[in-house]
Structure 1
Amino acid sequence: MKGKKLFDIFAKKNAREKVKIIPTIIADYREKNSLVSSELVGLGLQVSFRELKIGDFAVKDVILERKTVGDFISSMKNGRLVKQLENLQKYKKKILMIEGIDEQELYTENYYENKEGMHPNSVRGFLLSVILKYNIPIIFTKDYKDTAKFISILSKRTEKEASLNVTRKSFNKKEQMQFIIEGFPGIGPKTAKKLLEEFKTIKGIINTPTKELEKLIGKKAEIFRIVDDKY
């Protein structure tokens, strides 16, 4: 046994590969001079600028449409936002971010005081449509720094998901056989390898009388009686 490699199949199966993935935020070129982009860089994220036909930021497969409170109201009035929401339907994962709720009221009960002249119930109704009709979640942020922090956390979440989905190398035939034998309770990689080296095949192990197996692996052999038990 000395010098021979033992395949610890279960350790291999459960080990999480540490893959270094550098989060890259794709930002529309019109966001190049925005405070959000500057803040993202300050948070240590890599920002790449290009033309995005839909949305303002892309984090992996998530598209974000960012609106300041003022832009949200004006684009709601002129119908531009409806078109943008329809375009977002092309993506499975999308988010509408409304920025600046600490700096500007989204609506006021006395809508005549609102420069945009939007009745508060119109705004409420539109927000409900975004969620219920277009199935787009809404995130309200306090300011540009808050927006950047949300995007930063989103990038880390997608990075973590990517690391969990790393494709593992397929088991070879010997590893597969050992994996099956290790499936019996109490049978570890060392015992499984000892059995396979002695009896050569899985069938050979199963067909060997328990007393013979006990000579090799002791009381652990009792577990193989289960192959004759009825369900």
Structure 2
Amino acid sequence: MITILADDRESDARVSDELRKFSGVTVLRQRLPIGDYIAERHLIIERKTQSDLSVSIIDGRLFHQAGRLSASKLKTAFIIETGSKNFVSPEAVQGALISIGIVFGIPVFYSEGPAETAYIIYHAALQCERHTAEHYRRPGYRPRGITARKLFVLQGIPGIGPKRAKILLGHFGTIKNIITAPPAELLLVSGINKKTAQQMISLLHE
């Protein structure tokens, strides 16, 4: 199940309608503090047509939005839908998009319309979901909650990913019990083979 939040001020519902065509996608309309869409609560997306982009360049709103997005703790992206009228020069548009990408560090994607925009959002949400489910980003990552911290520590052991960490913690209850467990008991845990057990023992006891 993938959940995508859509800002209720987004008057064009075509993107939301296209998103609902993907299997397992739930689109919830609500007031978002920033951005037009939030995918899996990990990625904020600002969607603009070329006309919207031109107007936001003229009134300076584009860089204000980019500043707020770059200050967010979530990943961010712009999606620019081509096909509508530009009110500023191509040079001004390119300059603005270069600033967004280089200065603010926000990736920019181009789309030919609502259907392709929905496709980009959907696949971005899929990647966010898979990344969260399968991997913790260890450098700089600060898990919340005691269980999350325990799992984070266990995943630092070679051969122990998120799934095995959960199984180990469920079996032994505490990290201390895992560390002091004899090799024969480690082998009783589902998914822990002799090689993995030896790696754990080498790291934890040498």
1:72 corresponds in structure 2 to 53
2:29 corresponds in structure 1 to 49
Q: Which runs of 5+ in 2 are unaligned?
A: 136-161, 188-192
Q: CA deviation at 1:43?
A: 1.7
Q: CA deviation at 1:119?
A: 2.4
1:178 aligns with 2:201: no
Alpha carbons 1:130, 1:136 under 8 Å: kept: yes
Alpha carbons 2:8, 2:31 under 8 Å: kept: yes
Q: CA deviation at 1:81?
A: 1.2
1:185 corresponds in structure 2 to none
Equivalent residue of 2:20, what SS?
A: helix
Q: Which runs of 4+ in 1 moved over 4 A?
A: 179-182
Aligned counterpart for 2:111 among listed residues 141, 148, 151: 141
**Structure 1 168/104 Cα, relative in aligned 2: closer, same or farther at 3 Å?**
same
**Structure 1 141/179 Cα, relative in aligned 2: closer, same or farther at 3 Å?**
farther
Alignment of 1:13-32 (within 5 A): 22-31=1-10
Alpha carbons 1:141, 1:147 under 8 Å: kept: yes
Aligned counterpart for 2:120 among listed residues 150, 154, 174: 150
1:36 corresponds in structure 2 to 15
1:87 corresponds in structure 2 to 68
Equivalent residue of 2:19, what SS?
A: helix
Equivalent residue of 2:9, what SS?
A: helix
1:160 corresponds in structure 2 to 130
The residue identity in structure 2 corresponding to 1:39 is E
Counterpart CA distance in 2 for 1:179 and 1:88 is 51
Q: CA deviation at 1:177?
A: 2.2
**Structure 1 154/181 Cα, relative in aligned 2: closer, same or farther at 3 Å?**
closer
Equivalent residue of 1:58, what SS?
A: strand
Deviation sequence 1:22-75 (CA, Å, 0-9, x none): 110011012365100011112231001111121000012110000011101111
Alpha carbons 2:47, 2:79 under 8 Å: kept: yes
TM-score by length of 1: 0.59
Q: CA deviation at 1:120?
A: 2.1
The count of residues paired between Structure 1 and Structure 2 equals: 154
**Structure 1 62/179 Cα, relative in aligned 2: closer, same or farther at 3 Å?**
farther
Identical amino acids, percent of aligned pairs: 29
Q: Which has the larger radius of gyration?
A: 1
Counterpart CA distance in 2 for 1:181 and 1:124 is 58
Alpha carbons 2:43, 2:125 under 8 Å: kept: no
2:156 corresponds in structure 1 to none
1:8 corresponds in structure 2 to none
Alpha carbons 2:8, 2:30 under 8 Å: kept: yes
Alpha carbons 2:49, 2:84 under 8 Å: kept: no
**Cα RMSD over matched residues?**
2.8
Q: Which runs of 5+ in 1 are unaligned?
A: 1-21, 107-115, 183-187, 193-201, 203-226
1:98 corresponds in structure 2 to 80
